Amino acid sequence: MMNPAAALARPGLQDFDNSNIFPWIKNWLGTLGSDRHAFEAYPDTGDRGRYDLSSLVAPGDPIRIALAGDWGTGTDVAQQVADSMVADNPELTIHLGDIYYVGTDTEIQENCLGIGGQYQGVSWKHGSKGSFALNGNHEMYSGGTPYFDLFLPTLGIPSSRDQQQLRSYFCLEAPAWRILAIDTGYNSDTLAGDCALENPLLDWIGNVVDPIHHPKPTVVLSHHQWFSGFGDGDYPKPAQQLSPFFKNQQIIWLWGHEHRLAIFYLYQSRRGHGLSCFARCIGHGGMPLETASAAYPNEDDPQRVEYWDNPGLHPDRFRKLADGTQVGTNGFAEMTIQGSKLSIEYFDADRTSIFKESFVPGGAKWDGTLVRTVESDPKILTKMIYE
């Protein structure tokens, strides 16, 4: 017998257009007064949030991780993205956060767990070895409890000691690379929210991950951007908190929050904390894509976009929905670690590859730098040139 929920339609992408504020306000008002979930440290036993990626594959085999940001809309395109992410059977999948509208129990069930209710459910897909999800501001609008208590127990690496994802932050360790996932969402749910990292997370980075005494080429994952190349706001607090752990080291930082795909030139802060990173915005997983132009960098702190999806030059990548809303092409990224080489390939929702780059540690003995190579000609994306 067919499940009645399977016959329901999914919401249209236009339902999440930011120009229509009424459903956002309605859902936000419905969560006012929600209890805020505690931010907890890891227990002193088990994996303590550190996972050995080399245990997931045979020696010498690559480790592949598919990532999407701002995916949780429960739309047909969100399901298409999730299906495409696992089409090549990666070991892990990671969501960079935001389940809409406000991360309630019902929204997590419909938009992530495939449980139909008002709409036909959408399923977040796991890799062959497991899956993780970061916390976003939209999860915290409802206090975070559905994310922490309903979604996280379905995630993790089943073969690990803890079996499930216990906290909103974690570390994936390969022999030559480290992937550090942080929670910028917990302190982002108010107008004054600065995305500050909680003390248990900082203590865990210093004492469990310990990048000061055990440095390694590192990819940072977060929901919020350190900076925007499009005039959409900066969140420098987490970068300031992370900088003591990564002195004289270049990192790669993948984030979402802004609903677009953007590749940045190597960024060196001029504001005193000295963190240096190759920034990538992959917040194009499920929301209608924002079409603002790349902002020209200011002289005091240049935030230089290298590649982005420009509707002016590539109108074929943008379409109008039934209500006239212009939206771009959604997609995701896939990270592959093979020995000392880390590659990131960027895909459209239908798994069309649009850009690929790779990184290796710099120097005969790693000197803290990363050597980046563009491996495919990104003809679809617009390259920004600065004098």
Q: Is-contact 283 96, C-beta < 8 A?
A: yes
**pLDDT computed for residue 1 by the predictor:** 37
Output the pLDDT for position 83. Answer: 98
pLDDT of residue 273: 62
The dihedrals phi and psi of 154, each to the nearest 5 degrees, come to -90, -5
| Of 321 and 354, the one with more pLDDT | 354
CB 328 within 8 A of CB 291: yes
pLDDT for 379:
80
pLDDT score for 378: 83
Give CA–CA dist 222/238, Å, rounded. 10
Instruction: Please compute the mean of the pLDDT values over residues 287-308 and round it to a whole number.
Output: 75
> Of 46-50, 123-127, 374-378, which range is least confident?
374-378
Give the mean model confidence (pLDDT) for residues 204-218. 97
Return the pLDDT at 316: 85
Tokens, residue 348: 């459209």
**272 has pLDDT over 60:** no
Q: What is the mean pLDDT of residues 194-219?
A: 98
The pTM score is 0.96
Tokens of 356: 């690929």
Share of the chain above pLDDT 70, in %: 95
- Does residue 6 carry a pLDDT above 70? no
Residue 300 pLDDT class (50, 70, 90 cuts): low
Least reliable range by pLDDT among 61-65, 236-240, 255-259, 316-320 = 316-320
> Which pLDDT score is estimated for 15?
87
Does position 271 have pLDDT exceeding 90, yes or no? no
Q: pLDDT averaged over the chain?
A: 92
